[in-house]
């Protein structure tokens, strides 16, 4: 009962910031052209993995993108979501321009007295002022576990490109395993 689920296909250290960026974009109706500066405060380990090398700002590979607070944050702020297929925007001029407005810094409030180091502080500066949020925990933790609908949507997003028309059937089968006399009948839907 203590497992977590990663809602985004990136390093766990990016998740709390992504949660905050997506929420703040929606709440304040932010568009990329309104953004003057974004500061992401992370635990020192998060900075090491996602924000301290020059290659992190404009990654050129999927793995580089997964470990870039700049790329993942700019993408989430640009479109209000972030999923696996969004890595096709690596090198996109609009995402790179937004990433150039990001700074990743150590935030001491995320260092002490935390059960884990995955929180983030996000500060977005616009012409209207500064909007700031501190997310101590990213979504997907045991206390913020995704509901069944969110889990099914994540599964379908990942499985549809691979399983063609069988992804929905497999999702339904997994969610109702008790109706099968043998698990093999349900899992057979996932075989190609």
State the Cα–Cα distance between residues 190 and 192, nearest whole angstrom.
6
- Above pLDDT 90, what percent of the chain? 60
Confidence of residue 12 (pLDDT cuts 50, 70, 90): very high
**Helix or strand holding residue 141 (H, E):** none
Domain coordinates of the chain in residue numbers? Answer: 12-143, 147-190
Mean pLDDT of 110-117: 76
Could you tell me the fold of the domain covering 12-143?
Answer: 60s Ribosomal Protein L30; Chain: A; (3.30.1330)
User: At 170, is the secondary structure helix, strand, or coil?
Assistant: helix
State the Cα–Cα distance between residues 16 and 27, nearest whole angstrom.
16
Confidence of residue 98 (pLDDT cuts 50, 70, 90): very high
Q: How high is the pLDDT of residue 177?
A: 80
State the Cα–Cα distance between residues 138 and 19, nearest whole angstrom.
7
Q: Are 55 and 64 in contact (CB under 8 A)?
A: yes
Q: What is the pLDDT of residues 34-82, one digit of tens each?
A: 999 999 999 999 999 999 988 899 999 999 999 999 999 999 999 999 9
Q: How high is the pLDDT of residue 3?
A: 85
114 pLDDT higher than 70: no
Q: How high is the pLDDT of residue 38?
A: 98
Q: What is the pLDDT of residues 157-181, one digit of tens each?
A: 888 888 878 888 888 888 888 888 8
**Helix or strand holding residue 24 (H, E):** helix 15-27
In eight-state DSSP terms, residue 186 is: H
Q: Are 15 and 72 in contact (CB under 8 A)?
A: no
State the Cα–Cα distance between residues 69 and 103, nearest whole angstrom.
9
Confidence of residue 123 (pLDDT cuts 50, 70, 90): very high
State the Cα–Cα distance between residues 163 and 180, nearest whole angstrom.
21
């Amino acid at each position: 009962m203590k497992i977590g689920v990663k809602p985004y296909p990136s390093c766990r250290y990016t998740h709390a910031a992504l949660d905050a960026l997506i929420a703040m974009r929606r709440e304040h109706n932010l568009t990329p052209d309104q953004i003057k500066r974004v500061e992401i405060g992370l635990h020192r380990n998060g900075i090491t993995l996602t924000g301290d090398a020059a290659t992190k700002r404009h990654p050129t590979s999927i793995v580089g993108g997964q470990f870039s607070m700049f790329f993942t944050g700019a993408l989430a702020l640009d479109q209000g979501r972030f999923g696996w297929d969004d890595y096709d925007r690596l090198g996109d001029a609009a995402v790179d321009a937004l990433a150039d407005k990001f700074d990743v810094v150590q935030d001491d409030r995320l260092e002490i007295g935390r059960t884990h180091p995955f929180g983030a502080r996000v500060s977005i500066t616009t012409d209207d002022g500064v909007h700031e949020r501190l997310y101590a925990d990213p979504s997907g933790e045991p206390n913020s576990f995704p509901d069944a609908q969110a889990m099914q949507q994540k599964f379908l997003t990942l499985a549809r490109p691979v399983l063609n028309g069988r992804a929905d059937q497999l999702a339904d089968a997994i969610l109702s395993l008790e109706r099968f006399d043998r698990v093999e009948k349900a899992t057979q839907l996932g075989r190609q």
